[in-house]
Structure 1
Amino acid sequence: MKWMLILILTLLCPCCLGAYFKFTNLECKSLDPKFVEFKECHLKLVRRNVVGMNFHLAVKTEKPIDKIEFNLCIFRKSNVYRLFMVNHTLDFCYYMKRPQQYPLFYIFHDSLMSATNANHTCPYQENDIYLRKMTLSEQAVRDLPLPNGEYKLTVSVGAFKFNVSFCVGNMKDQLILYSLALSILLLQDALPLEAKVFKINKMECRTLDPTFALFKTCKVVRKENGRAALYIHITVPNKGPIDDIILSLGIIKVLKNRHFQIVNETMDFCAFMRQRLQSGFMGFLVTPLLKVTNINNSCPLQQQDYIFNGFPIDETTLKEIPVPNGVYMLHVRTSVLKKWRTDVKVYTSRVDNYS
């Protein structure tokens, strides 16, 4: 996939009450003049306190574009911008046929489609692509499942067959791969992120391969004022040593009429047990689980029973996960020997405190 477009948006606190936001800066640069060129790139006042984004992109190829890839990354600022949970890539041609299947991208759909001439399905034969007075509604940005803070959104757009997909870190390091760069700043009043807690609503455990593994225990033990503990016991009868384990984690924010998958990550569990410090966000969640389990050695695993004996959900656990109040589903699947074996869903609510 030959990358042709990057959008970089920086915003403060898109979900706090009483906030405001607006574009303050737009920079465009062609990194491959033989493929694409900017004819226009500027911000324009649409109405009081509302600024629209405008650009005119000249595509210098006569071949219809029928393979387009979008990559969306969200960075959160903590001294510097660091990748924050979201790193999603999609087939844009498929997306344009079924946009509502991608709720995170669909947040921006109406704003984008109403402002561009590239508002149809593939193939794209236009030599001139316009964006005119694009603004983001306050409600659209508030739907982003993010806590208070300052963020940068990067959107990379690729065309044709050059299969590269990653988030933009340092623009100067990516000049060979990209042909367009935009820098957009959105401002909002930011409120400090306060410590919050989780309340467990329910937990569901399911065996995907009963011949391989069975759940003997799957329960939530309720404690005072909404605190809880999770108990899981999985038995793997008559199996040899296990040295191939993949964990998949999804975190989904549940709203009335849509679901947002804000985390979709996998981790090589055996590699994690060998070198825990290089495991990133998944390791941050898995490490506390190891304190209440009999899985305390590196691969290969040889026991027949795997027990999580009362993982506490209280003020001391998971409070650092930076998500706003709301209802969430944590979805954990386990692959052993290259086949999905177990499926666990934990439904939880993020609240200010226990009461």
Structure 2
Amino acid sequence: CHSSTTVIIKKIECKIIDPDFVDFPVCEVMANGKKSSVSVTAHIRQLPVSSVSLNVVLQPLYGKNLAMLNATWDACAFMKNRKRNRALNRLFKYLAPYTNVNHSCPYNHDIIVRNFTLWNQTPLFSSPNVAFKISIGVYAGDKYRALLVGRADLEN
């Protein structure tokens, strides 16, 4: 069964929680009709980074706002053995072709995502037209460092 659902990335905001740790020289959505892509560059000011956790929250933008996903992952452990977490690995496969995050910790370089798009990708689930808020809290060395907040719309 072929789905005609399209995921359109509408917005990205990169919030610096700890300016001594990170800044975002690039944080943008490029849109061309229903095709959209995201580029983010996180310039890491304290290298190497050997401990990273991500708190990912996915929730409808309107309505009761109950989170469909609210989970925290040890990014270093995940990158060391991606097959151990099938759900996160499935999500990472969408991102992998667009990023330099391709090895386990420590990270001795900036984190780059270039032209990430979900155009022509099968969504993880089917839904009527709906807008989602996606929040990714970034923790390094057990400290809250940054927050990425985005909006993506599912359109049938």
Query: Is residue 2:128 matched to residue 1:321?
Result: no
Tell me what 2:107 maps to: 301
Aligned length: 155
Paired with 1:282 and 1:243, the residues of 2 have a C-alpha distance of: 20
Are 2:54 and 2:139, in contact at CA under 8 Å, matched by a contact in 1? Answer: yes
Partner of 2:37: 229
How far is the alpha carbon of 1:342 from its aligned partner?
A: 1.1
Determine which structure has more spread, i.e. the larger CA radius of gyration: 1
In 2, are the aligned partners of 1:254 and 1:260 still within 8 Å (CA)? Answer: no
Q: Which has the higher contact order (CA 8 A, sep 6+)?
A: 2
Q: Contact (CA 8 Å) 2:131, 2:151: kept in 1 or not?
A: yes
SS at match of 1:271: helix
Alignment of 1:1-355 (within 5 A): 194-223=3-32, 225-237=33-45, 239-256=46-63, 258-303=64-109, 305-316=110-121, 319-325=122-128, 326-352=130-156
Q: Which amino acid aligns with 2:40?
A: I
User: What's the TM-score, normalizing by structure 2?
Assistant: 0.90
2:146 and 2:135 map into 1 onto residues whose CA distance is 11
Gap regions ≥5 residues in structure 1: 1-191
1:267, 1:279 within 8 Å by CA — same for their partners in 2? no
Q: Secondary structure at the match of 2:145?
A: strand
RMSD over equivalenced CA pairs, Å: 1.8
Deviations 1:142-167 (A, max 9, x none): xxxxxxxxxxxxxxxxxxxxxxxxxx
Which digits, 9 at most, give the CA deviation of each residue in 1:300-340, with x for residues without a partner? 1111x211011112012xx2311412111111111100011
Give the drift of 1:253: 1.0
CA deviation profile, 1:197-216 (whole Å, cap 9, x unmatched): 21122111101111110011
Identity, in percent, stands at: 21
Letter matched to residue 282 of structure 1: L
